Structure 1
Amino acid sequence: MAQVVTFPESISGSAIWDPGPEKLSDDEYWAFCEANRDLHIERTAKGEIVIIPPAGGEWGYRGAEIIGELRNWARRDGRGRTFDSSVQFFLPDGSGLSPDAAWVSNESLQRLTKQERTKYLRLTPEFVIEVLSSTDSLKQAKAKMDQWIANGVELGWLIDGDAETVYVYRKGHRSIARQHIQEVAGEGPVAGFVLDLHPIWAGL
């Protein structure tokens, strides 16, 4: 039976449901996501279910520009694949997170069977991008970036289009805020990728 719930608690625009001491198993959680396809759902390391509100056209445009540039580069480069926010990664700490854009090496993907690739991906992407929307809390977005890095992401960018700022996160380093730059260059796993920020700053 499909499980649909009402979320009474709202924190900075995101609704949170704690299923209690009997946390959902991975398969139960995935079934819950399948039964609520109209919702953007993530899971915390504590097993709480987080419903993320719609972000609007401005965010959608920025996200589309970013995923398009990353996809086009990845095709030319050939070392890995690009994923959008519809894909969820099951991480070592038990959380299930969906970045706005991610890059995963072919080597990492080859560790999964064909069947395992049809659902959630039980791996940590090497590179993620998160795009701050009008419904996001900067503090919580930064905390999510810290969580990505703690779970093994090598490089991450948190992009605040309104403030024209890119927060760069690297494994083993402090995050750095880069303001009013016109492009940002990848390194490590995505060396050679350069994101043109002009359309992101310009917006709709």
Structure 2
Amino acid sequence: MTALTIQLNSIIDLTDQQFYNLCQANRDVRFERTATGELVIMSPTGSETGNRNGRFNQRLFNWSDQDESGIAFDSSTGFKLPNGADRSPDAAWVKLDRWNALNQEQQQRFAPICPDFVVELLSPSDNLTILQAKMQEYLDNGARLGWLINRQTRQVEIYRPDRLVEVLENPESLSGEDVLPGFTLQMLGIW
């Protein structure tokens, strides 16, 4: 997905409410906002990437429904990170007690929380360096596990707090480790 970054800071400093209203008024456009207030406009993914992302989300949601220890989210969900950025990972999961600590209004808008688990699926038009920085941003804001899946090279970068990024070459499966106990993603259908 190609992203366009617009510098609005010198013209207007969008409040959280204004950014939320902008997103609601333009539901066909996917927006993110950086911690410094830059507006990121992201194009839709290609069909093949959308299919693979849907397959991943289906597996995460199925596991989450059975496990019941947290809530899964798809790529249309916005999160307000502690650093002020508004981000939408391709898939995310939040532990239930953390989710329930939010009030109803917070849950209905861009929840002011960093997911415990995030996934970004690199599409052919994505910039790897930008997505790697985004993964690090999730970690810096409280994520406990992240996967950056690069279908083209069949590599998965695994992000964990206080550890170097681990790169797996063509794994058959991925483990949710202690963040998503019992969740194993078979890569067949994702590659």
TM range (shorter): over 0.9
1:195 and 2:185 correspond:
yes
SS at structure 2 position matched to 1:188: coil
Q: How many matched pairs?
A: 190
Unpaired runs of 5+ in structure 1? 1-11
Q: Is the 8 A contact 1:127 1:155 kept in 2?
A: yes
Could you tell me the TM-score, scaled by structure 2's length? 0.96
2:118 maps to 128
Cα distance per residue 1:51-104 (max 9 Å; x no partner): 011210111011011001111111111100100011100001100000010011
Which residue does 2:18 correspond to in 1? 28
Matched, 1:13 2:6: no
| 1:63 alignment partner AA | N
Q: Deviations over 1:136-174 (max 9, x none)?
A: 011111111011101110000000112111110001111
Amino acid at match of 1:106: L
CA distance in 2, matches of 1:37, 1:76: 31
Three-state SS of the structure 1 residue aligned to 2:119 is strand
Question: Deviation above 6 Å: which 4+ runs of structure 1?
Answer: none
**Partner SS, residue 75 of structure 1:** helix
Tell me which residue corresponds to 1:94. Answer: 84
Q: What is the root-mean-square deviation of aligned Cα atoms in Å? A: 1.2
Q: With structure 1 as the length reference, what TM-score do the two structures score?
A: 0.90
CA contact (8 A) 1:127 1:153 kept: yes
After superposing the two structures, state which structure 1 stretch, 13-22 or 83-92, moved more: 13-22
Structure-1 residue corresponding to 2:132: 142
What is the percentage of aligned positions where both structures have the same residue?
36
For residue 173 of structure 1, the aligned residue among 163, 182, 188 is 163
Higher alpha-carbon deviation: 152-161 or 15-24:
15-24
Match status 1:64 vs 2:54: yes
Picking from 50, 71, 87, the partner of 2:40 is: 50
Whichever residue aligns with residue 3 of structure 2, its letter is: S
